[in-house]
């Protein structure tokens, strides 16, 4: 069994719900009311994604550079 490491972006919506996004896995998102539950659900979502995508996901093609928050006036 292979072991993979993924970066996860965690945000909190206006209702206080935590939302996780795995940028390397297109469409891999989940949410929960607590961070502990979010981490568990994120691991489950990644495992399901990898199982479903067997052999079609090109892991390791992206490298993490950084995360920046910007403001834009519109």
Q: Does this model's pTM top 0.85? A: no
What value does the mean pLDDT of the chain take? 89
Question: Taking 90 as the threshold, does the pLDDT of residue 65 lie above it?
Answer: no
The mean per-residue pLDDT over the stretch 18-31 comes to: 94
Q: Confirm if 38 and 55 have CB atoms less than 8 A apart.
A: no
The mean per-residue pLDDT over the stretch 12-38 comes to: 96
The mean per-residue pLDDT over the stretch 26-43 comes to: 97
Give per-residue pLDDT as tens, 40-64: 999 999 999 998 887 666 665 677 7
Q: Confirm if 25 and 49 have CB atoms less than 8 A apart.
A: yes
């Amino acid at each position: 069994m292979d072991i993979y490491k993924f970066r996860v972006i965690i945000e909190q919506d206006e209702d206080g719900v935590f939302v996780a996004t795995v940028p390397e896995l297109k469409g891999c998102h989940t949410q929960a009311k607590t961070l502990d539950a979010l981490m568990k659900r994120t691991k489950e979502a990644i495992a399901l994604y990898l199982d479903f995508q067997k052999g079609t996901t090109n892991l390791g093609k992206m490298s993490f550079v950084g995360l920046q928050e910007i403001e834009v006036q519109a």
